[in-house]
């Protein structure tokens, strides 16, 4: 129950923190030595190759031009300069749509969106109503009522609730209208984006899972036979998938050794008087001391031998061919047909789906059988439920330790220390650790679900994180107690009692959420722009590891938009804004401030820093949409509960219709727009096919598709071996397999024969975490991989 | 709280009733005069043309062969004689699968199914456990406990509940196993059935809705352009749909006049001394008296003129062409591709679906736009909710009238009469009327939802009726009070309290349900075989209306399986059986008896009486499956609630896992089998296409498909006009449009030029109720329309 002055103090502190961060950023940003930390995107894009600075030595590291210090906030207008279509070309559609969500919350760039009119209306209508009818003034002695409460619904007599109900209707209609328009926009942008993409392997390719194993036939033969029969006019070729998980592990280990070798060689170069040595035992702590460089070279040699053996084994053994394949078609139309239809009368066989981008494939998950997928999903959803509702139990346990009086009695001499440690520090630490590892846990869980694209687990983890936030942050803050206690009490309350219980506490918690927004949304976002962690790591690496310009590029960690964390917290802000719009409108300016500030910061980061990992074509939008709808429904139910306790029960039927209407609106939107995110319409496919035929009639698709979906490990093969694999599996015309223009369009350096070389391109780092080091996984990616020409208003070739 | 002897008396009464019905049936059945009532299917099938009887006059009407009276139950073994594949040939797949549901309940024909082993296990294990541990014996004075309760779970101390929990697990696993096997069977049968069908128009045709209206282009042009572009290799032709609802109304009225004319002409033939007359005023009560035959002839002439005008208007006016069309393809593969894919980037335009059978189309619903469909569905689901939960309110209101003491005081002279009428008769009458019209209401609601096939509303109505039964019969009987009161109390109880409230009453209500099963399931089913209503109506028609053999055929009303009513009540029996299997196993033999008896009766009716209205290929099976799963989950939750009150709360976690496992099993089955009911796999389509090409390589598909989907009103056109329509819309090769073999395969007499003639074929009666009299709607149907060759074990042409 904070008073207005408490809020003021808190606001002051947070604003000062935010300003301190911004100031630090402004100073650090213009130092040439930090250039690669704050502008990595431009290096990756090829727009920048070294810091622009004056000639002398000091100026290479420190900015001496004092004029630039005066305009320390000039990144803000710069961030707004780039137009949306430029932004899409620069950083991909995902990033542009991600920013649109923020602008949906505030008013920048795209005109007035959701919250600006709501804030204005709510502040000008509700606060006078709430203040004027001061019923709570007289209850002050009995109830502890804060100043904020005076501005909220707690202060209103029953009759005037109709103002609130009316506004709830108004806001719902407004938000739904905006969501509809936005969904329409995003769907159009997505289709335009897809239409403007250059020819890419995934447009022609379908991933086929659960290919039945017929004895006497190889998987390749069954595939050829099946698709030649059932897609005779469009089937082109296919690419088998090998179970090379073991080999990938070897590759990973060898890469680690290579890193050590590099490190030691660098060390030797710098201090050439002394060859580095190491002990051969566990962690280098004991054992015989040997020359490090020789040791690692020897080890790598052995690994190369083993890997060659393993590679041969994978290739020779028919058992290592998985019942999965990438099937390519002669046209986008053929692939669209195959991806959307059921192939076999047994619907668990010959499962077809659009193939993800080659760099987006999660190779390990390709081999999971159908039944196992069902079981995995069940287990994971049970675990998520447990995680969400029992996550706080360990913390409660730690907290209960603080009250162990028995412990005190047993060891009275430890008392002062133990008490302060147990009560003050341990629970907080436990909570911090648990919250810190939560996103990782959720990502691991999502990966176990068995998705074949690397980008899918991100969306799934985002959903799980949202549930966690909803239960543990939103509900957990309103109804105090752990989520488990809530669950218990909810199970023993009637369904009509639950919104009432929560609804009543909502106005009381407004001050808490205002503080939350300021800490997490203002200071936190300002911290994001400072990039303290990458800054420190970059300079450390720069000091110890970097020997060449290419290594410096490696050390640069641009990062990317962290969708699994940012999307759910964004949705939490929407929830807060929508719930409090009618109840305590004074919260709205804080939310608005968050959206505007976060929009600016993320726009700056996306333009200058982040490097896009993959392009999903705004695949996350339907989730964002449906979660804003969920927020609306939650707000309506809570208002219903709140008014029920306020002796305004007559209004129940009026408000009860609203959730039903909102949900039907959602249903309508789902029908209307969602297919644009799930399926590729034949009309579009055909249009692009025809366009291709007229512009480039003699492209050889076979060579273009030949090894787009070759398992990354074969990228490291000798020329000869590769040829062998291809002839064996892909049926490529040998004479054409290298050097023609179609080939060079997707892969510029993958035919290079020597395996361990560092990519010079903008290789995304994602796969690296999941199995394959960059030199194996990404040789085939190229700077033009995102290349497409985005037309702001494409000519509609058919009327 | 009935005792065992009460149950005995009730059983005796019901068995006697059932036997009386069976006896009456046995006697009536063998009278030649009733032949068309009890064996209409054979007349329709062409297997019978007149009753087989001796020569003399009396023997034509009454069976004088007294030997046949002795074997009055011989229809039972006869009903079992026909094998399943014969049955499918004889009455369609729907009927065969419908019977399989009954046999799933008992043990006939297909080996031991769900309930036989359950009954045996439950009776031999549970009843000894329940009886031996007679804790309730000592409470007898306080509680009124019936003998039945002694055999139920009420009588068991906490420890032994683990027997019940173990059995619940065992039964769940058994039922799931049986359901899995059965789903597999049904899916295989469906695919085999579809594969064995002859060439039919709907295999090549897709219905396209929401064709966009482009100014300057006709719908036909847009269609041609769109499909020629996007399905260039497979598109064949299309058939526009006219908005002829007004014309259809005229046709209906004209048909009614024709009936009156026929009636009057017949009357005049019989009593030729006096020409029938009628008054022209309202209902023939006043006005000028005129000669009836002349009057109707005149009226019909006028109608014909009006109809010709209206017909011209429909044809000429481009506005009467709806944005809907039937698009036909050169191959089944092409149609399967088009039906399963998204065509346009706006997912509300160019919506494609498999076309229903031509006779199954609901022409009026074809023109409903997308938005209206969403709204309709929302309104209907709200209405169903209201109907289910507030259906009993009018009855409660009528009942409350009975207690109006004020009324008595106002009019004391009416007292004895009013009291007995209000209290004894009115509420019962109101309930009966409401229950009688319920299926009709549900059918109307389902039709408003806007389905384009006539068979879909039947399935939808069946779902609605199931919810009604579940809430009003099952829950309504267990928790006394109206559904509205239940809803109210459920909203104010905690979610864990609800199964407890219901669970506790379950054992007490076993006797009620035993009585219910005997009345509804034994005597009711015996009433079904007697066909009292069709018997009476047939003889009335025979007396007053029939003038020729063809009319007699018309008077015959074979009826059909009434899916919207029988499926839900069947599912109610499954629910009762599953819920009581563990709680009061003594109920199981009654259920078993019902399944066996109903199986016999319906098998007899399907073989001898019912005429199939449409063939959905067992489309109702997924619903049956998921509702049996729902019954399982309900039984598990209720047992959980019951045990919770029994101080066996420790067992909660053990039982709580079961619903989750059951639901995941359902999810798995959905993935595994449901696509077989929703989509047509490309593999199957291609197989049939190839088979066709080899067996009949020179069939002209264009003529075959030319007017399969012609709007029924154009069936009545003069030859010339029809030709005109075709050339205009369907682009048929004129020289081939009549008389070739492909044509005669689906339509044998539709080119007959004179409109008002009665069909001589087995025209199904369904469309007749919804818009078009038989002579307009069904000239194109033919006895071979169901024709296909069903192979018991088709040779798999590919290994």
Residue B113 token pair: 């199914």
- A342 contact B CB<8A: yes
pLDDT of A725? 47
Cα separation, A153 vs A129, in Å, equals 9
Segment B605-628 shows an average pLDDT of: 85
Identify which has the larger pLDDT, B698 or A799: B698
Query: Residue B554 sits in which domain range?
Result: 4-196+390-663
Cα separation, A648 vs A518, in Å, equals 34
Residue B155: strand, helix, or coil: helix
Q: Which residue of A has its CA nearest to B229?
A: A686
Segment A187-202 shows an average pLDDT of: 83
Number of domains chain A is built from:
2
pLDDT of A633? 92
- Nearest CA to A37 among A19, A54, A61? A61
- Residue at a domain's end among A663, A683, A703: A663
Q: Please write the tens of the pLDDT for every residue from A506-523.
A: 777 787 888 888 888 787
What is the rounded average pLDDT for all residues in chain A?
Answer: 73
Same domain, A598 and A623: yes
Residue B218 token pair: 């006709």
Q: Does B771 score more than 70 pLDDT?
A: no
Segment B55-72 shows an average pLDDT of: 61
pLDDT of A629? 93
User: Are B342 and A681 within 8 A, CB to CB?
Assistant: yes
Distance from CA of A639 to the nearest CA of B (A): 17
Whether residue B152 contacts residue B587, with contact meaning beta carbons closer than 8 Å, is answered with no
Break chain B down into helix, strand, coil percent, rounded to 5.
70, 5, 25
Chain centroid to CA A476: how far? Answer: 25
- Residue at a domain's end among A628, A663, A698: A663
pLDDT of B251? 81
- A494 contact B CB<8A: yes
Q: Does A608 score more than 50 pLDDT?
A: yes
**List of chain B residues whose C-beta atoms are within 8 Å of the C-beta of residue A660:** 378, 382
Residue B603 token pair: 């098998």
Identify which has the larger pLDDT, B390 or B463: B463
pLDDT of A156? 60
User: Could you tell me what percent of chain A has a pLDDT over 90?
Assistant: 2
pLDDT of A743? 36
- Nearest CA to B543 among B266, B278, B257, B756? B266
Q: Does A202 score more than 70 pLDDT?
A: yes
Cα separation, B790 vs A767, in Å, equals 53
* DSSP letters spanning A276-324: -EEE-SGGGSSS-EEEHHHHHHHHHHHHHHHHHHHHHHHHH-GGGEEEE
Identify the top-confidence range among A133-137, A238-242, A554-558: A238-242
Q: How far from A95 is each of A30, A43, A87, A578, CA to CA, in Å?
A: 25, 18, 8, 25
Tell me whether 0.85 is exceeded by the ipTM: no
Segment A447-475 shows an average pLDDT of: 85
Q: Which residue of A has its CA nearest to B372?
A: A668
Whether residue A747 contacts residue A779, with contact meaning beta carbons closer than 8 Å, is answered with yes
> Residue A157's pLDDT band (boundaries 50, 70, 90)?
low
Same domain, B168 and B224: no
User: Are B191 and A371 within 8 A, CB to CB?
Assistant: no
- A492 contact B CB<8A: yes
Cα separation, A407 vs A414, in Å, equals 9
Q: How far from B319 is each of B244, B314, B485, CA to CA, in Å?
A: 11, 8, 51
Whether residue B658 contacts residue B309, with contact meaning beta carbons closer than 8 Å, is answered with no
Whether residue A352 contacts residue A223, with contact meaning beta carbons closer than 8 Å, is answered with no
Identify which has the larger pLDDT, B283 or A232: A232
Same domain, B442 and B542: yes
User: Which residue of B340, B350, B497 is in closest CB contact with A342?
Assistant: B340
* Residue tagged 């829950």 (tokens): B475
Q: Specify the DSSP class assigned to residue A506.
A: T
Same domain, A447 and A323: no
Residue B366 lies in a domain: no
User: Which residue of B191, B341, B374 is in closest CB contact with A345?
Assistant: B191
Q: Does B239 score more than 60 pLDDT?
A: yes
Q: Which of A105-109, A633-637, A784-788 has the lowest mean pLDDT?
A: A784-788
User: Are B374 and A674 within 8 A, CB to CB?
Assistant: no
**List of chain A residues whose C-beta atoms are within 8 Å of the C-beta of residue B676:** 345, 347
User: Are A681 and B378 within 8 A, CB to CB?
Assistant: no
User: Are B337 and A341 within 8 A, CB to CB?
Assistant: yes
Q: Which of A607-611, B171-175, B665-669 has the lowest mean pLDDT?
A: A607-611
Q: Give the Cα-Cα-Cα angle B233, B236, B241 (nearest 5 degrees).
A: 140
pLDDT of A748? 36
If phi > 0 it is left, if psi is from -120 to 50 it is alpha, else beta; for residue A559 that is left
User: Which residue of A229, A350, A492 is in closest CB contact with B496?
Assistant: A492
Segment B30-42 shows an average pLDDT of: 74
**List of chain B residues whose C-beta atoms are within 8 Å of the C-beta of residue A496:** 491-492
Same domain, B507 and B637: yes
Same domain, B345 and B414: no
Cα separation, B96 vs B89, in Å, equals 10
Cα separation, B95 vs B618, in Å, equals 8
User: Which residue of B340, B374, B494 is in closest CB contact with A668?
Assistant: B374
Identify which has the larger pLDDT, A675 or B757: A675
**List of chain A residues whose C-beta atoms are within 8 Å of the C-beta of residue B229:** 683, 686
Q: Which of A227-236, B233-242, B747-756 has the lowest mean pLDDT?
A: B747-756
Per the document, the length of chain A is 799
Same domain, A477 and A517: yes
Cα separation, B592 vs B670, in Å, equals 28
User: Are B491 and A491 within 8 A, CB to CB?
Assistant: no
Q: Does A328 score more than 60 pLDDT?
A: yes
User: Are A342 and B681 within 8 A, CB to CB?
Assistant: yes
Q: Does A432 score more than 80 pLDDT?
A: no
Q: Does B769 score more than 50 pLDDT?
A: no
Angle of the B426-448 helix axis to the B563-583 helix axis, nearest 10: 110
Segment B209-213 shows an average pLDDT of: 83
Strands of the A235-242 sheet, one edge to the other: A235-242, A321-329, A205-209, A351-354
User: Which residue of A333, A342, A491 is in closest CB contact with B682?
Assistant: A342
Q: For A237, phi and psi rounded to 5 degrees?
A: -165, 175
**Judged by CB atoms within 8 Å, which residues 656-675 of B form the interface with A?**
660, 664, 667-668, 671-675
> Residue B633's pLDDT band (boundaries 50, 70, 90)?
very high
Residue B530 token pair: 């007697």
> Counting runs of H as helices and runs of E as strands, what totals does chain B give?
38, 6
**List of chain B residues whose C-beta atoms are within 8 Å of the C-beta of residue A340:** 340-342
Distance from CA of B638 to the nearest CA of A (A): 16
Write b or e for each residue in A380-411: b if 16 or more Cβ atoms lie within 10 A of its Cβ, otherwise e. Answer: beeebeebbbebbeebbebbeebeeeebeeee
Distance from CA of A686 to the nearest CA of B (A): 6
Beta bridge partners of A13: none
Q: Which residue of B has its CA nearest to A215?
A: B799
Residue B770 lies in a domain: no
Distance from CA of B567 to the nearest CA of A (A): 27
Q: Please count the CA atoms within 13 angstroms of the CA of A262 that sit on its side-chain side.
A: 15
Segment B751-762 shows an average pLDDT of: 36
Q: Which residue of B has its CA nearest to A191?
A: B345
Per the document, the length of chain B is 799
Cα separation, B193 vs B95, in Å, equals 13
Residue A541 lies in a domain: yes
pLDDT of A172? 92
Q: Please count the CA atoms within 13 angstroms of the CA of B611 that sit on its side-chain side.
A: 23
Chain centroid to CA A250: how far? Answer: 29
Q: Please write the tens of the pLDDT for every residue from B772-783.
A: 333 333 333 333
Residue A350 lies in a domain: yes
Q: Which of A127-131, B15-19, B760-764 has the lowest mean pLDDT?
A: B760-764
Identify the top-confidence range among A282-296, A750-764, B464-478, B737-751: B464-478
Contacts of A408 (CB under 8 A, 6+ apart): A415, A418, A419
pLDDT of A655? 78
- B214 contact A CB<8A: yes
Q: Does A135 score more than 70 pLDDT?
A: no
User: Are B494 and A496 within 8 A, CB to CB?
Assistant: no
- A372 contact B CB<8A: no
Q: Does B337 score more than 70 pLDDT?
A: yes
pLDDT of B140? 38
Beta bridge partners of A197: A788
- B131 contact A CB<8A: no
Angle of the B621-645 helix axis to the B497-505 helix axis, nearest 10: 90
Q: Does B545 score more than 90 pLDDT?
A: no
Same domain, A191 and A210: no
User: Could you tell me what percent of chain A has a pLDDT over 70?
Assistant: 69
User: Which residue of A345, A676, A679 is in closest CB contact with B684?
Assistant: A345
User: Are A681 and B229 within 8 A, CB to CB?
Assistant: no
* Beta-strand relationship, B321-329 and A351-354: unpaired
> Residue B610's pLDDT band (boundaries 50, 70, 90)?
confident
How many beta-carbon pairs under 8 angstroms link A with B? Answer: 127
* DSSP letters spanning B210-228: -----TTS-HHHHHHHHHH
Segment B20-36 shows an average pLDDT of: 78
Same domain, B484 and B526: yes
Residue A125 burial by Cβ neighbours in a 10 Å radius (0-12, 13-18, 19+): middle
Residue B314 lies in a domain: yes
Q: Which of A471-475, B532-536, B543-547, B755-759 has the lowest mean pLDDT?
A: B755-759
pLDDT of B42? 74
pLDDT of A668? 85
Residue B132 burial by Cβ neighbours in a 10 Å radius (0-12, 13-18, 19+): exposed
Same domain, A623 and A659: yes
- Residue at a domain's end among B332, B356, B380: B356
Q: Give the Cα-Cα-Cα angle A597, A603, A606 (nearest 5 degrees).
A: 140
Residue B747 lies in a domain: no
What is the rounded average pLDDT for all residues in chain B?
Answer: 73
Same domain, B460 and B578: yes
Q: Please count the CA atoms within 13 angstroms of the CA of B547 that sit on its side-chain side.
A: 10
Residue B769 lies in a domain: no
Q: Specify the DSSP class assigned to residue A356.
A: P
Same domain, A210 and A187: no
Cα separation, A660 vs A255, in Å, equals 57
Segment A371-387 shows an average pLDDT of: 85
pLDDT of B797? 37
Residue B256 lies in a domain: yes
pLDDT of B629? 92
């Amino acid at each position: 129950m904070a008073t207005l002055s408490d809020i003021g103090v808190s606001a002051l502190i947070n604003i000062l923190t935010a300003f301190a961060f911004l100031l630090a950023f402004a100073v650090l940003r213009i130092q040439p030595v930090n250039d690669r930390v704050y502008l990595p995107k431009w290096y990756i894009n090829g727009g920048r190759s070294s810091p622009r600075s004056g000639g002398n030595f000091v100026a290479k590291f420190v900015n001496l031009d004092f004029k630039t210090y005066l305009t320390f906030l000039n990144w803000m207008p710069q961030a707004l300069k780039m137009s949306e279509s430029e932004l899409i070309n620069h950083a991909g559609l995902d990033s542009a749509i991600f920013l649109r969500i923020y602008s949906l919350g505030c008013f920048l760039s795209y005109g007035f969106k959701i919250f600006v009119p709501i804030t204005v209306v709510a502040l000008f209508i509700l606060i006078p109503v709430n203040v004027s009818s001061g019923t709570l003034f007289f209850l002050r002695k009995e109830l502890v009522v804060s100043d904020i409460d005076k501005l909220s619904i707690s202060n209103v007599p029953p009759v005037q609730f109709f103002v609130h109900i009316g506004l709830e209707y108004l806001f719902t209609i407004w938000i739904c209208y905006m969501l509809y328009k936005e969904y329409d926009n995003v769907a159009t942008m997505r289709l335009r984006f897809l239409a403007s993409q250059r020819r890419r392997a995934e447009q022609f390719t379908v991933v086929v899972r659960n290919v039945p194993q017929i004895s006497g036939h190889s998987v390749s033969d069954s595939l050829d036979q099946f698709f030649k029969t059932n897609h005779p006019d469009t089937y082109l070729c296919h690419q088998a998938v090998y179970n090379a998980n073991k080999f990938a592990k070897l590759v990973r280990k060898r890469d680690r050794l290579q890193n050590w070798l590099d490190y030691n060689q660098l060390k030797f170069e710098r201090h050439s008087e002394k060859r580095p040595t190491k002990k051969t035992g566990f962690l280098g702590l004991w054992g015989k001391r040997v020359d490090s460089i020789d040791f690692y070279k020897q080890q790598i040699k052995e690994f190369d031998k083993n890997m060659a053996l393993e590679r041969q084994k994978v290739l020779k053994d028919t058992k290592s061919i998985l019942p999965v394949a990438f099937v390519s078609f002669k046209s986008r139309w053929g692939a669209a047909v195959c991806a959307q239809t059921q192939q076999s009368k047994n619907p668990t066989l010959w499962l077809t789906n659009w193939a993800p981008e080659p760099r987006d494939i999660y190779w390990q998950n390709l081999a999971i059988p159908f039944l196992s997928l069902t079981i995995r999903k069940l287990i994971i959803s049970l675990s998520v439920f447990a995680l969400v509702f029992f996550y706080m139990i360990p913390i409660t346990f730690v907290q209960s330790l603080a009250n162990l009086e028995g412990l005190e009695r047993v060891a009275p001499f430890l008392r002062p220390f133990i008490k302060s440690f147990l009560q003050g520090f341990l629970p907080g630490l436990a909570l911090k650790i648990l919250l810190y590892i939560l996103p990782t846990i959720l990502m691991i869980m999502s990966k176990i679900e068995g998705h074949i694209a690397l980008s899918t687990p991100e969306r799934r983890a985002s959903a799980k994180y949202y549930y966690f936030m909803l239960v543990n942050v939103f509900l957990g803050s309103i109804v105090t107690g752990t989520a488990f206690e809530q669950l218990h009490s909810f199970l023993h309350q009637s369904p009509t009692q639950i919104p009432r219980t929560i609804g009543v506490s909502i106005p009381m918690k407004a001050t808490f959420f205002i503080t939350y927004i300021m800490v997490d949304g203002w200071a936190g976002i300002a911290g994001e722009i400072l990039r303290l962690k990458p800054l420190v790591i970059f300079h450390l690496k720069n000091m110890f590891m970097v020997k060449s310009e290419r290594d410096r590029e490696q050390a640069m960690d641009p990062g990317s938009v962290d969708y699994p964390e940012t999307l759910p917290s964004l949705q939490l802000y929407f929830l807060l804004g929508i719930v409090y719009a009618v109840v305590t409108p004074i919260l709205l300016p804080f939310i608005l401030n968050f959206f505007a500030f976060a929009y600016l910061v993320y726009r700056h980061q996306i333009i200058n820093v982040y490097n896009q990992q993959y392009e999903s074509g705004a695949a996350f939008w339907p989730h964002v949409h449906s979660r804003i709808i969920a927020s609306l429904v939650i707000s309506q139910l809570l208002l219903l509960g709140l008014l029920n306790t306020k002796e305004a029960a007559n209004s129940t039927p009026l408000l009860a219709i609203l959730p039903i209407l909102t949900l039907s609106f959602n249903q309508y939107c789902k029908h209307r727009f969602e297919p644009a995110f799930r399926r590729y319409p034949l009309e579009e496919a055909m249009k692009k096919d025809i366009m291709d035929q007229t512009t480039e009639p003699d492209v050889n698709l076979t060579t273009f598709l030949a090894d787009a979906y070759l398992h990354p490990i074969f990228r490291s093969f000798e020329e000869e071996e590769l040829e062998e694999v291809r002839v064996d599996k892909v049926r490529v015309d040998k004479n054409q397999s290298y050097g023609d223009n179609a080939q060079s369009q997707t892969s510029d350096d993958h035919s290079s024969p020597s395996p361990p070389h560092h990519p010079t391109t903008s290789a995304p780092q994602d796969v690296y975490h999941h199995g394959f080091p960059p030199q194996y996984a990404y040789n085939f990616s190229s700077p033009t991989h995102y290349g497409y020409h985005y037309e702001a208003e494409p000519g509609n070739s058919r009327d």
